Amino acid sequence: MGKVILEDVTKRYADVTAVDKMNLEIEDGEFVTLVGPSGCGKSTTLETIAGLTIPTDGKITIADREVTNLPPKDRGIAMVFQNIALFPHMDVYDNISFGLRLRDYPKEEIDRRVDRASDIVQLEGMLDRMPDEMSGGQRQRVAIARAIVREPEVFLMDEPLANLDAKLRVHMRTELQRLHKELDTTIIYVTHDQAEAMTMSDRIAVIDGGELQQIAPPLVCYNEPANLFVAGFIGSPSMNFVEGEVTSTGLSTPNFDVEFDPGQLSGVAEGDHLTLGVRPEDVYLRQGSEGVANPTQSIPARTDVLEPMGDEIFVYLLTGDAAEPSMEADPETSKNQLLMSVSPDSDIEAEQDVEVVLDRERVHLFDTETGDAISHTLEFPATEAGAAETETEAEGDD
Amino acid sequence: MATESDSSQGAFSRWVDSAIESPEKVYRAMFYVVMLFFLFTTLFPFYWLLVLALTPNEAITSFGFPPVPNGFNPEAFVNVFTTVPFHVYMFNSFVLGIATTAVVLVLASLAGYVFGRLDFPGKGPLMLLILAVSYFPPAAFIIPLFRLFTGNISLLGVSSPNLFNTPFSMVLPFSALFMPLSIFILSTFYGQIPDGLEDAARIEGTTRLGALFRVIMPLSAPGVATAGVLTFISVYNEFFFSFLMTSGEANNWAPIVWGILSYQGQYTQLYNLMAAASIVGVLPVAILVVVAQEKIVSGLTAGALKE
């Protein structure tokens, strides 16, 4: 069946490594999204699966068949492109049936399949139109019909919605999910839009610098990011990061301290540099934090800029003594900044002194140097206590 | 200039005065002068051919100016075919032209794909080298080629095939000479087809070569038509190799140039038939150009290619 396995797939160009030892195992019928910033190697990865690019190294298996060096036409795949790529000199029927005609299917079979495919994507009555007579959304549907008509083992989609307008994009997103349910075929989807990745996928593969950072269901990527990159990339607006140093009682950052028992964390010693991560929705105003079971100590801050979004308000907080709005927003000064999301009915104003707390259960800790996640909570279950860490703790300097 | 109110000035002076006020008049006048000049130089030879063709050969010696036919003898257009088998010469030229065009389009498409769509070291210099071939005077090749095509060169005991008086002796050098321009034209056109379309074709089931012939070539139709028409006309009009690579008989694949010259015997010059044959020979190409031009123009004005 349509299981896709990448083993140590590497693609090197003259001076850059686009994909570095990618290992992926995608189950039959799964919807997996490759997501990452521009130039991270996600499209190259998809091209190696498609056969449009031959990897420098590694092995690709589709449906229990090694395809590493096979041409695209022999891989049992279909692809939808970002720029849609309908053949402009053919009408819709010819576009959809192109692959079937190349494979010498009988005429009745082609007609039957084209009818069914155009039915699924709701293109009835448009089969004799030319691509330039259609709207962007209709063209995208023709491209999808062209992909499903061959009944491939795997669908590859390279940012298929990127060129559509925002409203149509949201609509096509649900269409694609419906299609996936209906066809039950493996889909590998590439996007740089983490919202698309979150909403559609069974699993997300976050890629950066040609390397796989994490592959997990969307909510796992969101709640338990494997490292700083995933934590910062998944979620909008991005997670807050504050660098600090481990003390005997917790983490000390330039502007506030967070208490926890470092002995509970394996491999963490006093003096280690950790990065605290907390999502905007896990930052609360002190007087509204009754619902939070385990708040941190309150952190004094001053509100800077408010961004009312309608369903919530994003509040930029400045912490610490130097609570001056910094016009030069370089990353060094923005470490004083904390983004908070509050409900729209809170009467918060700009330039106001407030006290905020963090939800201890949802504070993440990362190793500042390697970026790896250490913990996704400060409330450790009793069973997780690491007794061996008491020795290293003693070595830590203050 | 229409009004004659100011009688102290001539019509020309008045025209000059008004032209100074509105210079567009001068530009328009210059345009007409230049256009008439080109029309005259282009069309007068045809008119002159028609005059010669309609004049009986006995009366062909003296013409006044402007020349008018000395008599009316449309039979020349029939005699063209009865005196010598001119239709066979025309057929030969057609075959040579079409064969060369086919060879050039297929090979130049492959080369155009490589130069237009792939990146490799030395691409620019190699393209220049190929273009340089077309700058060589054909006379530089004729003696070695003639020896080669008449079986006078042997390599390792195998002598070259005797191609004299066959179409190959002309199609081969024509293809080589006219190929560079077609490669240049096609690589430009093929280079503009978006990569996504080729990728899509390959995903759908073609090879790279299949994508070239099924998607890239049809979408480059104006370029292919341009290269094809230019090649065909060049071969059809070619004189040098056509004249030297056959012995001149119609059944030896001699093209039109030989047909026209064959109205000229040792003691008779049938100028009227030569003129009539020239007109008949030009007509197919004239029609081809008119038809193809429309196609080329329509292809070019169809707008930028959308995926």
Q: Per the CB < 8 Å rule, is B197 touching A87?
A: yes
Residue A322 has pLDDT above 60, yes or no: no
Tokens of B235: 């071969």
Residue A191 has pLDDT above 60, yes or no: yes
**DSSP helix/strand/coil, B197:** helix
Residue B269: its pLDDT value, please?
80
If pLDDT is split at 50, 70 and 90, which confidence band does B295 have? low
If pLDDT is split at 50, 70 and 90, which confidence band does A346 have? confident
> Which residues from B are below 8 Å from A87, CB to CB?
197, 200-201, 215, 219
Tokens of A327: 């016009």
For chain B, percent of residues with pLDDT exceeding 90 = 25
Residue A388: its pLDDT value, please?
41
Dist CA B282 CA B47 (whole Å)? 13
If pLDDT is split at 50, 70 and 90, which confidence band does B111 have? very high
What confidence tens digit (pLDDT) does each residue in B117-127 have?
A: 998 899 999 99
- The residue-averaged pLDDT of A96-111 equals 93
Cβ neighbours of B296 (radius 10 Å):
18
Hey, is the C-beta of B23 within 8 angstroms of any chain A C-beta? Answer: no
- The residue-averaged pLDDT of A233-249 equals 89
Tokens of A165: 């307008």
Element (H, E) at A43: helix A42-50
Rg value, chain A, Cα:
25
Q: Per the CB < 8 Å rule, is A131 touching B306?
A: yes
More confident residue, A393 or B285: B285
Cis peptide before A280 (omega within 30 of 0): no
Q: Could you tell me the residue ranges of all domains in chain A?
A: 4-226, 240-395
Nearest to A60 by CA among A110, A69, A52: A69
Residue A27: its pLDDT value, please?
92
Cis peptide before A237 (omega within 30 of 0): yes
Tokens of B62: 């003296």
Which domains does chain B carry?
76-301 (1.10.3720.10)
Residue A236: its pLDDT value, please?
84
Q: Is the ipTM of this complex over 0.85?
A: no
CB A131 within 8 A of CB A137: no
Residue B294 has pLDDT above 80, yes or no: no
Q: How far is B195 from chain A (nearest CA, A)?
A: 9
For B135, phi then psi, to 5°, come to -85, -10
Residue B304 has pLDDT above 70, yes or no: no
Residue B201 has pLDDT above 60, yes or no: yes
Dist CA A142 CA A129 (whole Å)? 11
Residue A205 has pLDDT above 50, yes or no: yes
Q: Per the CB < 8 Å rule, is B199 touching A81?
A: yes
Task: Classify domain A4-226 by CATH number.
Answer: 3.40.50.300
- The residue-averaged pLDDT of A178-186 equals 89
Amino acid at B52: L
Q: How far is CA A373 from the centre of its chain?
A: 16
Q: Per the CB < 8 Å rule, is B203 touching A89?
A: no
Interface test with B, best of A89, A104, A163, A164 (most B CBs within 10 A): A89
Residue B43 has pLDDT above 50, yes or no: yes
Which residues, 6 or more positions from B234, have their beta carbon under 8 angstroms from its beta carbon?
B174, B178
Residue A237: its pLDDT value, please?
87
Cβ neighbours of A8 (radius 10 Å):
12
Hey, is the C-beta of B300 within 8 angstroms of any chain A C-beta? Answer: no
If pLDDT is split at 50, 70 and 90, which confidence band does B179 have? very high
| Residue ranges of E strands in A2-99 | 4-12, 17-26, 31-35, 57-62, 65-66, 77-80
For A311, phi then psi, to 5°, come to -90, -15
Residue B7: its pLDDT value, please?
57
If pLDDT is split at 50, 70 and 90, which confidence band does B298 have? low
Average pLDDT of chain A, as a whole number? 85
- The residue-averaged pLDDT of A295-307 equals 87
Tokens of A198: 């979150």
What confidence tens digit (pLDDT) does each residue in A114-163 have?
A: 999 888 888 888 889 998 888 888 898 899 999 989 889 899 999 888 88
Residue A325 has pLDDT above 60, yes or no: no
Dist CA A27 CA B48 (whole Å)? 81
Residue A389: its pLDDT value, please?
41
- The residue-averaged pLDDT of A378-390 equals 55
Residue A277: its pLDDT value, please?
92
Dist CA A57 CA B255 (whole Å)? 58
Residue B56: its pLDDT value, please?
86
Average pLDDT of chain B, as a whole number? 85
Which residues, 6 or more positions from A28, have their beta carbon under 8 angstroms from its beta carbon?
A1, A2, A3, A186
For chain A, percent of residues with pLDDT exceeding 70 = 91
Residue A391: its pLDDT value, please?
40
Q: In chain A, positions 48-107, which contact chain B (CB-CB < 8 Å)? A: 50-52, 71-73, 77-79, 81-89, 98-99, 102-103
- The residue-averaged pLDDT of B270-289 equals 87
Residue A383 has pLDDT above 70, yes or no: no
Q: Per the CB < 8 Å rule, is A85 touching B204?
A: no
Q: Which CATH architecture has domain A240-395?
A: Beta Barrel (2.40)
Which residue has 């509970």 as its token pair?
A264
More confident residue, A357 or A395: A357
- The residue-averaged pLDDT of A261-267 equals 81
Dist CA A110 CA A112 (whole Å)? 5
Residue A256: its pLDDT value, please?
85
What confidence tens digit (pLDDT) does each residue in A73-87 have?
A: 899 899 998 888 899
